[in-house]
Amino acid sequence: MSQQQPRGSRPSLPSPSNGTLGAGVAVIALVLGFLILRDVRNDGGTTSPGVGNSSAVTVAPGGTIDPNAPASTVPFTIDGFKIQVANASGLAGSAGALTVLLQKQLYVVQPALNVAPGTAKRAKTGVFYLAGCDAAAQNVATVLGGNVDVAAMPTPIPVETATIGEACILIMLGTDLANKPLAGVTGLGNGIVVDTTTTIAG
């Protein structure tokens, strides 16, 4: 008669604690959240607001304007740039007077200057612009009556300070418009400007 040996008890495996399990779940959730956010940020094209914070312009990935998107007309804001008026007419006070007229139409205009010493008087007013302000220059030219020269900013800038500060438009006031009203806003109230829209390819 064989005698049965008592079975030894198996060593029990440690069960994972609730704290360790919770930490593992939190790490997995964090990784999943990061991957989802990364996919959302890398998704497709973006839109960029147009001039004057109006309708959006479609921009393709890489920051270029989508050539297949339709053109859109958006408001042109006259307070989005600064103007500098310089007296090239030789008539004292005329640049200051034009500065005031433009300010009454809600343009942002810096205090008037004189042209640099040795600069010839101008018979015809000129509107000169820095890169990126060509549309603004056309708008200002229209307000002045349209019969002005419009061109890129000359170098050096022909004003007494040799700089126009924060402005991107320089009006070289000639004798044609010195001490005269703004022909482009005749009959309109303050703040109303002719040709206040511009069409951009979007």
Rounded to 5 degrees, φ, ψ at 191 are: 85, -5
Residue 104 lies in a domain: yes
The answer to the question of residue 68 being in a domain is no
Query: Quick check: helix, strand or coil at residue 80?
Result: coil
Closest to 193 (Cα-Cα) out of 129, 127, 144: 144
pTM, 2 dp? 0.58
Q: Work out the end-to-end distance of the chain between its first and last CA atoms, rounded to an integer number of angstroms.
A: 99
In a domain, 100, yes or no: yes
Is 37 among the domain residues?
A: no
pLDDT mean over 28-52: 54
Whether residue 33 is contained in a domain is answered as: no
φ/ψ of 137, rounded to 5, equals: -65, -40
Tens of pLDDT, residue by residue over 56-113, are 333 334 444 445 555 545 566 898 999 999 999 999 999 999 999 999 999 999 999 9
Which SS3 state, helix, strand or coil, does residue 164 take? coil
| CB 86, CB 95: distance < 8 Å | yes
113 is a domain residue: yes
Q: How many domains does the chain fold into?
A: 1
For β-strands 56-59 and 46-49, DSSP reports them as antiparallel
Domain span at 88 = 82-200
- Report the CATH number that the domain containing residue 109 is assigned in CATH: 3.30.70.2390
Q: Is residue 64 in a domain?
A: no
The reply to whether 10 falls in a domain is no
More confident residue, 47 or 125: 125
State the Cα–Cα distance between residues 113 and 125, nearest whole angstrom.
15
